[in-house]
């Protein structure tokens, strides 16, 4: 089996880019191919989330092949929501590993800033479950609900959680200040973080990666270079939040990591630094736990303790991460790989010498995740072979039952958020919660009032036009409830006698 090496990397300056999408891709391609110093590329693998709706570009693989001036070259478009760049790397890796191609150019890119925030939010919200979207849920809303549950499960106070999230944002912005290709190249202050508005409680503006244009390119080759792609893995997770069993980690990352570690024959302890998908600051914390860098519930402490800073035991997002480098969705998974390769080569600000780096990319709400391990070939023996694949690497192949008729009229809040930046057609503030019904099922629901929300709160449910609405049970309602139950029991008491008389003998 063929080992796979990185021959060249490149990326555009992330941020607002006035050029058409094809030109942005084209620049990344030229930079990567130029760095690889190759005269020939066998095929293109292109990761992009939704050019159809972002820029009106369909048939993007042929479009990009044309734009690069490689008409005739085989070109595939790969898509797995916001991890599309990493997905394209996976497909390109398999193409070289098979021996079918010798050198492929992997590209990832997206153009988004020409849309309004609300329009871009609507397109991005397309990646979440339809039923949850109908409630007005967005990616920030679902990320916020996971965060609220994570806080409760990990027994972290509200203020300590805020400090943890703030620490991630401050670290990544400080790192981004050293990255000339980052969208934001300015450190931010604690005061600015706490002054920033809530997007969806408990997430503030500074907890969310920005809307960005950009593209990244990686040339993979079967010829040995200084950096080897030594491990790669992928896992998927349940699309909807309400059908999940776990809200405080991403099983898809664990599946992907297990595969990548096994292939590279290493464990989390052998990783020197990582680029982690911090589309939201809590995702960085959760992902460092899923990757095995820190125990569950302890990722936030690690940030506060400086473990993920440059001088720490496991530097995370030295590039600034999605938070400061920016997040052109289809590009991010590949931009991470570009950053890891540059850092391994000592081409970035860090000046620390590393042997092995990891990139972790998240698709949607952790529904399609990738882990890639890259290492210097002069630093350690490279595995030339790896065991034949299988899905014994922890994939959770369970059958998802079809949703039964959902007619519960009450339940308990499992987690919640108040959404301040809503998609088209929904007015802020919008209270959203996952409600656990008496039968144990979860339902995404819209609050009729955004006050008195907390995990464990009892609520009433009703349905209008397929959307589930909840009202918090007040004290008076609880008394009324108890009275009604008593009344129903009393009213029901004499009934059996009368009925027995009329029963057939």
Which residues ranging from 60 to 79 are in contact with a copy of itself (CB under 8 A)? 60-63, 65-67, 69-79
Q: By CB under 8 A, tell whether 281 contacts a copy of itself.
A: no
- Least distance (Å) between residue 220 CB and a copy of itself: 12
- Least distance (Å) between residue 367 CB and a copy of itself: 4
Which of residues 267, 391, 477, 480 is near a copy of itself by CB under 8 A?
Answer: 391
Q: Which is nearer to a copy of itself, 41 or 188 (CB)?
A: 41
Q: Which is nearer to a copy of itself, 58 or 117 (CB)?
A: 58
* Residue 197, φ and ψ in degrees, nearest 5: -75, 155
Both structure tokens of 432: 């959203």
- Least distance (Å) between residue 82 CB and a copy of itself: 9
Q: Which is nearer to a copy of itself, 125 or 335 (CB)?
A: 125
Crossing angle (nearest 10°) for helices 139-153 and 158-176 = 130
Both structure tokens of 73: 């070259």
- Residues 123 to 162 in contact with a copy of itself, rule: CB under 8 A: 126-128, 130
Q: How far apart are CA 288 and CA 307, in angstroms?
A: 11
3-state DSSP call for residue 276? strand
- Residues 77 to 96 in contact with a copy of itself, rule: CB under 8 A: 77-81, 87, 90-91, 93-96
- Residues 312 to 371 in contact with a copy of itself, rule: CB under 8 A: 363-364, 367-368
Pairing of strands 467-472, 442-447: parallel
Q: How far apart are CA 365 and CA 129, in angstroms?
A: 10
Both structure tokens of 505: 């003998």
Q: By CB under 8 A, tell whether 185 contacts a copy of itself.
A: no
Q: Which is nearer to a copy of itself, 87 or 324 (CB)?
A: 87
- Least distance (Å) between residue 65 CB and a copy of itself: 5
Task: Measure CA 261 to chain center.
Answer: 20
If you compute the radius of gyration of the chain from its CA atoms, what whole number of angstroms results? 25
CA distances from 439 to 29, 389, 408, 460, 461 (A): 53, 39, 8, 14, 14
Q: Provide CB contacts within 8 A for 214, sequence distance 6+.
A: 11, 12, 13, 14, 15, 17, 24, 28, 109, 110, 183, 326, 328, 331, 335
Bridge partners of residue 418, in order along the sequence = 431
- Least distance (Å) between residue 400 CB and a copy of itself: 6
- Least distance (Å) between residue 108 CB and a copy of itself: 14
Which of residues 34, 52, 353, 439 is near a copy of itself by CB under 8 A?
Answer: 52
Q: By CB under 8 A, tell whether 236 contacts a copy of itself.
A: yes
- ∠ Cα 299 239 284 (to 5°): 20
Question: Per-residue contact track with a copy of itself, 424 to 463, x per CB under 8 A?
Answer: ----------------------------------------
Cβ-contact 188, 457 below 8 angstroms? no
Which of residues 5, 25, 101, 470 is near a copy of itself by CB under 8 A?
Answer: 101
Both structure tokens of 223: 């010829």
- Residues 21 to 40 in contact with a copy of itself, rule: CB under 8 A: 40
Pairing of strands 410-419, 442-447: unpaired
Q: Which is nearer to a copy of itself, 312 or 394 (CB)?
A: 394
- Least distance (Å) between residue 414 CB and a copy of itself: 19
- Least distance (Å) between residue 173 CB and a copy of itself: 29
Q: For residue 353, count CB atoms less than 10 angstroms from its CB and return exposed for 0-12, middle for 13-18, buried for 19 or more.
A: exposed
């Amino acid at each position: 089996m063929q080992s796979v090496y990185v021959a060249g990397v490149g990326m555009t300056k992330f941020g607002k880019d006035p050029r058409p999408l094809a030109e942005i891709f084209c620049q990344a391609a030229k930079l990567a191919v130029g760095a690889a110093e190759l005269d020939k590329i066998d095929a293109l693998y292109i990761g992009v989330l939704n050019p159809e709706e972002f820029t009106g570009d369909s048939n993007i693989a042929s479009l990009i092949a044309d734009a690069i001036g490689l008409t005739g070259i085989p070109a595939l478009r790969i898509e797995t929501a916001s991890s599309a760049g990493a997905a394209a790397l996976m497909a390109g890796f398999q193409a070289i590993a098979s021996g079918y191609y010798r050198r492929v150019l992997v590209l990832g890119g997206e153009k988004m800033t020409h849309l309004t925030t609300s329009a871009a939010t609507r397109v991005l919200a397309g990646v979440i479950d339809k039923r949850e979207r109908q409630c007005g849920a967005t990616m920030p809303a679902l990320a916020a609900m996971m965060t609220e549950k994570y806080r409760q499960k990990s027994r972290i106070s509200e203020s300590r959680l805020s400090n943890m999230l703030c620490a991630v944002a401050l670290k990544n912005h400080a790192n981004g200040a050293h990255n000339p290709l980052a969208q934001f190249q300015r450190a931010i202050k604690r005061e600015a973080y706490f002054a920033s508005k809530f997007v969806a409680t408990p997430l503030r503006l500074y907890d969310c990666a920005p809307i960005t244009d950009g593209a990244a390119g990686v040339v993979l080759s079967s010829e040995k270079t200084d950096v080897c792609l030594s491990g790669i893995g992928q896992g998927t997770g349940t699309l909807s939040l309400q059908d999940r069993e776990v809200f405080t980690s991403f099983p898809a990352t664990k599946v992907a990591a297990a595969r990548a570690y096994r292939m590279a024959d290493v464990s989390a302890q052998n990783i020197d630094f990582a680029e982690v998908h911090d589309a939201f600051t809590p995702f960085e914390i959760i992902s460092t736990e899923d990757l095995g860098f820190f125990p569950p519930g302890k990722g936030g402490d690690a940030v506060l303790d400086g473990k993920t800073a440059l001088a720490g035991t496991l530097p995370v997002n030295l590039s600034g991460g999605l938070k400061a480098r920016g997040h052109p969705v289809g590009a991010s998974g590949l931009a991470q790989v570009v950053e890891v390769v540059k850092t391994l080569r000592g081409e970035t600000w860090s000046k620390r010498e590393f042997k092995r780096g990891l990139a972790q990319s998240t698709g949607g709400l952790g529904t399609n995740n990738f882990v890639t391990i890259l290492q210097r070939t002069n630093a350690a023996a490279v595995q030339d072979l790896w065991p034949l694949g299988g899905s014994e690497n922890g994939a959770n192949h369970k059958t998802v039952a079809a949703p039964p008729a959902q007619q519960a009229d009450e339940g308990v809040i499992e987690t919640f958020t108040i959404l301040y930046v809503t998609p088209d057609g929904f007015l802020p503030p919008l209270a959203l919660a996952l409600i656990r019904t008496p039968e144990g099922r979860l339902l995404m629901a819209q609050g009729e009032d955004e006050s008195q929300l907390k995990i464990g709160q009892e609520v009433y449910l009703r349905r209008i036009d397929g959307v589930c609405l909840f009202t918090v049970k007040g004290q008076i309602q609880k008394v009324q409830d108890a009275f009604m139950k008593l009344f129903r029991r009393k009213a029901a008491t004499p009934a059996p006698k009368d009925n027995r008389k009329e029963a057939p003998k």
